[in-house]
Amino acid sequence: MYFVTEIDSDLYLGRELLFSKEKQVYFETVEAKLNQEFINVKAVKLSELYQGLKDENTNEVIRLSKYAKAYQHAIQTKYPNADVKNYEE
């Protein structure tokens, strides 16, 4: 089970630095909730998901954070058999 936290970016805007603690708390909270529902939750960035899932026919469960939900269609296209959904609180 994968939890996609965000896209990869080396560009940090002032706004990103300001909200980085808030994002970290959000990720930890969601990951804890997912761990209650699923076994072996892996919190990853988008590129780590693509590196970790080599088989495009995977039926893996993938949940997207509010920071990665814009990539739902792209992930569903790449992994058509996977269970890809945005995480809803």
**Residue 13 falls in which region: left (phi positive, over 0), alpha (psi -120 to 50) or beta:** beta
pLDDT for 26: 85
* pLDDT tens-digit series, residues 34-89: 999 998 999 999 999 999 998 999 999 999 999 899 999 999 999 999 999 999 87
Q: Which residue has the higher pLDDT, 12 or 82?
A: 82
* pLDDT tens-digit series, residues 62-74: 999 998 999 999 9
What CA–CA distance (Å, rounded) separates 89 from 79? 24
pTM attached to this predicted model:
0.81
What CA–CA distance (Å, rounded) separates 67 from 21? 14
pLDDT for 36: 93
